[in-house]
Structure 1
Amino acid sequence: MKRLINLAPSPVVSMMLALLPFALILLMYVASSDLRLEANPNDKLLPSFSQIGDAIHRMAFEPSKRTGEYLFWQDTASSLQRLGLGVLIAASLGLALGIFTGALPLVNAGVSPLLTVVSLVPPLALLPILFIVFGLGELSKVMLVAIGITPVIARDIQRRTREIPAEQLVKAQTLGANTAQIMIRVLLPQLLPKLIDAVRLTLGAGWLFLIAAEAIASTDGLGYRIFLVRRYMSMDVILPYVAWITLLAFLFDVALAWLSRRLFPWHANGGAQ
């Protein structure tokens, strides 16, 4: 008799097991929604799928009477632009800080303690300061995302840099490579796939910081819309927006994983997830 620890599901069973929790959650929601709406047709806490569909159609396919814009797509575009810029800045700074502190002992001695302290500061606590320094426009929201995830990326790249075998650096120096050549030709190619992995791990936090910034000071965006309609208990809008954010985060993760496999197949074959 096989022990449970040795039992591995087939691909079909794995897919069924993966879908089972989602199906159960869906059934529980439908049952709970029907019960609440049967008791009170005006209940807003658990809207039916038809109500959610009407809200999606209204937000995505009907222009706003006030602005003439399709709010769902305008919110999506604004949030993605802010998130993309913030992540791009964070990835660039994180890579630079990580590789310099990981490869150069002098830089590490001066910068690493500061980086450690900065990584312990709750980014949301800096939001009022960012609003004061950068104003309530786009820059403060982008900077919150960048400041929030840069230390995490930098520390991860720093650790990955130190994991590169010292023999490679010795061989490069034996062949006459200087410091810049070692960093660009030896370290950087090995760290780029690690950078993609680090960005994947920090995207969830990036979404959190973005939504918080949009909720406090914004005129559009996915986070702004969720916190705007909450005062009316518009769960038929909030739920699809939350589901849309989750889907976007999932698609970004899949896209980055595909990009890593495409650009760095040797890294994927080495066991990257």
Structure 2
Amino acid sequence: MTLATLRDVLTPCLTDGTAVAGLVVLGWEDAVAYVRAAEAAGQPVILQAGPGCRAHTPLPVLGAMFRTLAEGAAVPVVAHLDHGESLEVCRQAIDCGFTSVMYDGSALPLAQNIALTAEIAAVAHAAGVSIEAELGYVGYHGGAASHGTDPAEVAGFATETGIDALAVSVGNSHLMTTPGAEVDMPRLAAIQLAAPTLPLVLHGGSGLSPALRRQLARDTTVCKFNIGTELRMAFGAALRQTLAENPQRFDRIQILRETIAPVTEAARTVIANLAGR
């Protein structure tokens, strides 16, 4: 069994010049593809269940699916709750076998974000589970605007909450379909200086070019990149292709099975790049 916590896989990244991919799962086929990709690259992977996924598939099902894949994997696999909205959701994920939870209090006033994050961190750590939090606000391409993380708030936030990883806003945005985001390097450097041993996380990793991701993994304490949109695009392209090539096919298992190999290769490229391979 290679089920791991977020702390397990991110701690080495602070010193070895690599980062781990947090890959957004929407169903069985992409989850299988991500684990196969990690095995092919010889690197750990973080399977992430975000709000959209949880609205479609119940947490107990996702927890069992992630753990089943981890138990058969040859590399460490983290079962991660992404953008948990409350203590109740995070507690349910822990009860369902997740090994890592992200509590997203980024839209709250700082004091409230600290208080709620600290409460959830205590629950998570008591269960042997890691916790990620967010400071600042990572917005959405074409939607809510980002609010950059204030480096002056980082050290206190980290100390008062006891988190294992911190998602920051430094020019990254969710749901970008092209890699055109520019990272505010001075802001990132100041954040890193404030908490040099705390693994940092960049959400909206699809908006960052592979070269920039590799640079950040090598030269900073950004240890985790969340990647969703570009892999959903790979899935969509593969699905459209198989439907076009097989217009009479109606068995959903046969149809969806055809997406696994292309998504595996797309995810392997992402994972290997973060490891400098």
The structure with the greater share of residues assigned to strand is 2
The structure with the greater share of residues assigned to helix is 1
Please say whether Structure 1 and Structure 2 have the same fold, judged by a TM-score greater than 0.5.
no
Structure with the greater alpha carbon radius of gyration = 1
TM-score of the superposed pair, with normalisation by structure 2? 0.24
TM-score of the superposed pair, with normalisation by structure 1? 0.24
